[in-house]
Structures are given as C-alpha cells and as structure tokens.
Amino acid sequence: MKVTVLYGGQSAEHDISILSAHNIISSLIRSEYQVDPVYITREGSWLKGKEINDFIEDSNELKLSLEDDNVSPIDINQLVEEKNIVFPALHGPNGEDGTIQGFLEVLNLPYVGCGVAASANGMDKIVSKQLFSQADLPQLPYVAFTEHDWKHEQQELIQQCEGSLLYPLFVKPANMGSSVGISRVENEAELINAVDEALKYDRRIVVEQGITADECEVAVLGNSDINLSVVGRLVKTSEFYDYDEKYINNQVEMEIPANLAPEVATRIQEYAHRAYKAIDGAGLARVDFFVTSNNDIYINEINTMPGFTEFSMYPVLWQETGINERDLIEELIQLGLRRYETKQGFEAE
C-alpha cells in the first residue's frame, strides 16, 4: 500500500515538518508501505518526488526542487485517481488548522488525523478555550479580543487585563504555534508592545495569566475508542521555550513518565480525554498541561498534528507506553482509513 506524505509548508514550522516527515517515512518504510513524497516549498509550490521504497539517510533529501530528477509539480487529478491515504505531516497554520484537511475532504481522499473542525478548533486558542470551558476543564484565566477592539478600546482592554489577571502575562496570537508571536510581559508597556507584536500574526489575541508550573503532555490515539499515553514532563531550562530552543537546539529534555503522584497523572489523562472529545479529535493529538508544585492542573492547549520527529514527545510517549513507532504509524493509517470509510457510508443528501 502507498501513502502520500505531505510536508514542508509555508508556516514557521517548515523545518520541523521535514524532520517529522523523515521520521514518519522511516516508520512507513519499516512497515513496508511505499511513500509518495509531496513537498510544499516555503514559496508554496507543491512538488511531487519519486516514490520512496527505502530508508532516506538525510532529511535534507526531502527538500525537493524542480531541478532534481523525477520531481514535478503536483498533478491534482493524479492524486485523486491514485486515492492514496495522505499523511499531512504539517504543523501550524495551513497544515494543522483544518485548511489542508478541507482540501483533502474536497478531493475525497482519506487522510491521517483530525478532521476540518477538530483541526481548526484545536488550533484556535480562543475557540479551544471556549470548548474546554464547556467541557469543565480547568484553565488559566484570560482575556480575548480582536484587532478592532484593541484599536478602539485599548485602555478598557488594558484595564480588563490588569483587573482580572496578575503580571506576568502571556500574550498570544489566537492562531499560530511554535511560540511564534508569543511574549511574556511584566508591565503595561510590555503588554502594549506584545499585543502589537502578536497582531502581526493574527487579528485575534489572547492575554493569559502567567503561571510558574511544570509542563506535562499526554498523547492521544484513536477515533471513537480513545487511547491515552503515560504523562510526560518537559524538564525546563528557561521561562518559556522559543522555537529554536524547542525544536532546533533540542534543548528540551523529557521525563517520561513524569514523576507525578498516580492520582495526578490519572487526572491529567482524564482531562486529555475530555479535551480530545471536546474538539471531536480523530486519529491523534497531544494535549499540553501546566501542573503547579501543589498539583493544580490547567490545560494549556491541544495540538492536532504534534511534532513527530524521533525525539518528539508524541512518538516517544507512545514508545514509553508500549506502542513502538511502527505499530503507531500502522494504527494512524488504519484510523484514517476507517474514518474515511465511515464517511463514505453517509448519504450525500
């Protein structure tokens, strides 16, 4: 069987996507799948490379170019006719946010992972907070507003932030990822700068209560039968991780399973389960939490296409839970196919 792996993309997570794809392709090859690589360049061209049947040593080989042999612009008709299942190994905007998923739905292709709504809602920090709150999940207090609000009632919004939250605060664009556009601020002047910075990335903003806490993560796998991994913890070396620290320099150490009281770990898993259901997750997601020294738990976010490199939390959590990468990849493919078949079973009208 053949799998089309989509990777690269125009988001800030281009490089990590290539590393995820490299690891995913290795697992697929190990499971005796053939792979059609489709690379989305930083400029937004979609390039199809020649079929992969063997391990690739260097992930740089996945950076396809029209100058290479056997690389051509993608042919949508061919994609539709072949009907391979697609693994969108893309993170961040235009990958993890429902847009690619919508494109694949329109082409009527099976794909791995969350559907359109789950991807969009999981990506949007304001919508996901609203869904989490409906699901009674504990989260940090926050203030959300639009660029328009900020232009017209900046003073009121600052008062609202300062009245309901305590510095330090975290300012975030509603739709991004990889800490892009996110700032930690300690006073009003920094808050104003941070909002202006975040507005470069989105027209909707979240200002959130800052907290000193551990960051713990759970991997979720399944469609209706939902499986949860053990809890992992990021061993922190700084106040918050920026893109380079998190992904490029591999500065983040993981403690798996996290050294937590069993009832705390169970509660985190239960919250992860609820969060996944709240967004109507399918296939996979990683759910991230803050855990304070007195074991207060707050959900931070859900990632519907978490990093998938060999060092990434998601596959490593499963490894430590007893599912190796080969079985994990196999299960993700099967979940995608089953979801597709279920959808085919519904009447169009």
Ligand X SMILES: Nc1ncnc2c1ncn2[C@@H]1O[C@H](COP(=O)(O)OP(=O)(O)O)[C@@H](O)[C@H]1O
Q: Tell me the three-class secondary structure of the chain, residue by residue.
A: CEEEEEEECCCCCHHHHHHHHHHHHHHHHHCCCEEEEEEECCCCCEEECCCECCCCCCHHHHCCCCCCCCCEECCHHHHHHHCCEEEECCCCCCCCCCHHHHHHHHCCCCECCCCHHHHHHHHCHHHHHHHHHHCCCCCCCEEEEEHHHHHHCHHHHHHHHHHHCCCCEEEEECCCCCCCCCEEECCHHHHHHHHHHHCCCCCEEEEEECCCCEEEEEEEEECCCCEEEEEEEEECCCCCCCHHHHHHCCCCEEECCCCCCHHHHHHHHHHHHHHHHHCCCCEEEEEEEEECCCCCEEEEEEECCCCCCCCCHHHHHHHHHCCCHHHHHHHHHHHHHHHHHHHHCCCCC
Asked if 232 interacts with ligand X (CB under 6 A), we say no
Which window, 1-9, 39-47, 55-63, 202-210, contacts ligand X (CB under 6 A)? 202-210
Query: Which member of 211, 226, 254, 337 binds ligand X (CB under 6 A)?
Result: 211
Query: Which member of 33, 150, 170, 271 binds ligand X (CB under 6 A)?
Result: 170
Which window, 11-19, 62-70, 176-184, 248-256, contacts ligand X (CB under 6 A)? 176-184
- Residue list 233-252, contact with ligand X (CB under 6 A): 240-241
- Residue list 291-310, contact with ligand X (CB under 6 A): 300-301
Which window, 46-54, 205-213, 272-280, 339-347, contacts ligand X (CB under 6 A)? 205-213
Least Å distance, CB 217 to ligand X, is 9
Judged by beta carbon, residue 202 or residue 208, the one nearer ligand X is 208
Which window, 8-16, 19-27, 174-182, 187-195, contacts ligand X (CB under 6 A)? 174-182
Asked if 95 interacts with ligand X (CB under 6 A), we say no
Query: Which member of 41, 160, 179, 223 binds ligand X (CB under 6 A)?
Result: 179
Asked if 254 interacts with ligand X (CB under 6 A), we say no
Determine the size of the site formed for ligand X (CB under 6 A): 18
Judged by beta carbon, residue 215 or residue 330, the one nearer ligand X is 215
Least Å distance, CB 203 to ligand X, is 17
Residues that bind ligand X (CB under 6 A): 140, 170, 172, 176-179, 182, 208-211, 215, 240-241, 288, 300-301
